[in-house]
Amino acid sequence: MGSALLMAVSLITLVVSTRSLAGFPERIGLSVLSFLQRGFDGAGQFVSDTVNSIAELRRLEESHRELLKRVENLGNLERSYADLKRENDRLKEQLGFLSSAKYASVSAKIIARDPENLYSTFVLNKGALHGIVKNQAVVAYQNGIEGLVGRVVEVGRTSCVVAPIYDTSAFVAVKLERSRYDGLAVGAGTSEAPIIIRYIKKRAKDEIQFGDLVVTSGMQSLYPPGISIGRVTKLKDLDYLTSLELEMEPIIDFGRMEYVFIIRNETTELEGQE
């Protein structure tokens, strides 16, 4: 009786244990699959995020290049505007001079320098078609001041050549504006060297001051009277000379000169046509 009971309990225990172990492999498989699925999902998400990040980075780089291009274009526009404004201011200055000038003139722009003459002469964009003839005086307007530039020495159909007052071939009858003494200005061949004024009477020595304004005297038909030329920078009283010798700095800055005015008058036009 006791043996039969023991066998029955053992049988029941064996059945229960067998049934509990029946689903164990499936649970293990499901756990492994779940782990692998989570891993694959994570890897897929990582790849997707990486691809999206790369695409976003490319979009940002493209946007950055576009912004840089726009900034460069804005910078170019700003520089162009500044250049146009300066050009407009210069033209307004020239227009103001043209409307208030005491004599008829033709405005012109410097378009070239003459390399065969050590840049001593320069070319203007006006010629015979515009009524230009040889020996007409040329002036410029800078910082509100009118100054003598030179004279026309050659004339083409649509251009002309001007020899400035510092050229060695230039001789200008001048007058010291304050003391009214006359003299003759002679060029030294370069804009860097002072212009020499000769034949000033020695008795004028005590009346001449540094910075005195020198103007055209009108004693020559080429240049109208009263045009500013320069200012006295030095006085020489040499014993072997019968007159004073002055050095003068031109009132016009030839290095930044762009526009000039060619003075028209009947005398030079008749001479140029002969």
- Do 95 and 144 belong to one domain? no
Mode of pairing for the β-strands spanning 182-186 and 171-176: antiparallel
- Do 54 and 87 belong to one domain? yes
- Do 39 and 152 belong to one domain? no
Does residue 5 belong to any structural domain of this protein?
Answer: no
3-class secondary structure, 183: strand
**266 falls in which pLDDT band (50, 70, 90)?**
low
Distance CA 140, CA 157 (A): 22
- Do 170 and 68 belong to one domain? no
pTM above 0.85, yes or no: no
- Do 147 and 210 belong to one domain? yes
Distance CA 224, CA 33 (A): 108
End-of-domain residue from the set 57, 80, 100: 100
Does residue 159 belong to any structural domain of this protein?
Answer: yes
Does residue 63 belong to any structural domain of this protein?
Answer: yes
How many of the other CB atoms lie within 10 Å of CB of 193?
A: 11
Q: Are 183 and 175 in contact (CB under 8 A)?
A: yes
- Do 158 and 198 belong to one domain? yes
End-of-domain residue from the set 71, 100, 129: 100
8-state DSSP, 177: T
Does residue 261 belong to any structural domain of this protein?
Answer: yes
Least confident of 23-27, 40-44, 153-157, 193-197: 23-27
- Do 133 and 253 belong to one domain? yes
- Do 135 and 260 belong to one domain? yes
pLDDT at 20: 47
Is pLDDT above 70 for 82? no
- Do 91 and 117 belong to one domain? no
pLDDT tens digits for range 193-247: 889 999 999 999 999 999 999 999 988 668 999 999 999 999 998 888 889 999 9
Q: How many domains does the chain have?
A: 2
Domain of residue 61 covers 33-100
- Do 78 and 170 belong to one domain? no
3-class secondary structure, 139: strand
Is 22 exposed, middle or buried, given 0-12, 13-18 or 19+ CB atoms closer than 10 A? Answer: exposed
The mean pLDDT value of the chain amounts to 79
- Do 135 and 259 belong to one domain? yes
